[in-house]
Amino acid sequence: MATFMLVHGGHHGGWCYKKVARLLQAKGHIVYNPSMTGMGEREHLRFPGMNLDTHVTDIVRILEVDDLTDVILVGHSYGGMIITGVADRATERVGHRVYLDAAYPVNGESLLVHAGANIAPLEATMRLIDGVELVDFPEHMPPHFFGITDPEDAEFTAARLGPQPWACYTQPLVLTNEAAMRAIPESHIICSSTTVGRDMDLLRERSQGRVWDIDTGHDLMITEPEWTAARLEDVAATMA
């Protein structure tokens, strides 16, 4: 039995892991799939000044309050920024890092810098709401943008996508324990369409070969939940 912390990406909430969480729970694993502050069902908790560090703290506090150890951190997309920060700040509580078609940042890098071609255009959608700069509203994000084509999945997703605080994308990630963080085992689960531009050989070297790819859309936890859950169980098997 493993403990998974499933961390969602931008514009999403914990809801995006619903299928994967249930599959893992059915196999006896402990699964957390929280929504970050200001996202998903916690949208009403947005506040001026919230940023990437807010979301890193969200996860660190769960690990601390629930006294979790050997946790498998899974980060999707922007969630890769979050889990890297969490593993840096709570190294002793993390047993594995899984980058689920995710950002893989270095110290001092923001998501805007890390993935500028995808992130920079979002600034044009910015609106100031209750003192928070928000970008990329649902009308700009049809589910097919995330590779979701099944009508039922598309309806589910469209009803839940939301804007993202811009500061989450612009705040640099500060790592203070990077060597220890990088020593935590890692794995990469990637959508084939995004392998272009990635150094796959380097990822395989860093993860001792634990790199999988699948031909599906960016939201693979929604489009391919059984396959995604199976790969996460493969990761858990390495910790047995």
Q: Give the pLDDT mean for 158-174.
A: 97
- The answer to whether 132 touches 46, Cβ cutoff 8 Å, is yes
User: pLDDT for 205-235, tens place per residue?
Assistant: 999 999 999 999 999 999 999 999 999 999 9
Q: Please say if 77 is a catalytic residue.
A: yes
**pLDDT score at 13:** 98
Residue 120 has pLDDT above 80, yes or no: yes
Q: 198 CB contacts (<8 Å, ≥6 apart)? A: 190
Q: Give the pLDDT mean for 72-93.
A: 98
Residue 47 is given by DSSP the state: -
User: pLDDT for 44-56, tens place per residue?
Assistant: 999 999 999 999 9
**pLDDT score at 54:** 98
Instruction: Please give the single-letter amino acid code of residue 200.
Output: M
Closest CA to 105 of 174, 44, 179, 167: 174
3-class secondary structure, 60: helix
Q: Give the pLDDT mean for 148-173.
A: 96
User: pLDDT for 130-156, tens place per residue?
Assistant: 999 999 987 888 888 899 999 999 999
Catalytic residue among 35, 77, 110, 187: 77
**pLDDT score at 195:** 82
User: pLDDT for 13-52, tens place per residue?
Assistant: 999 999 999 999 999 999 999 999 999 999 999 999 999 9
**pLDDT score at 197:** 79
Residue 177 has pLDDT above 80, yes or no: yes
Report the C-alpha gap between 49 and 60 in whole angstroms: 19
Report the C-alpha gap between 37 and 56 in whole angstroms: 10
Q: Which residues of 179-198 are buried (b: 16+ CB within 10 A; e: fewer)?
A: eebbeebbbbbbbeeeeeee
Report the C-alpha gap between 136 and 163 in whole angstroms: 5
pTM: 0.97
Domains and CATH numbers, the chain: 3-237 (3.40.50.1820)
Residue percentage of the chain with pLDDT more than 70: 100
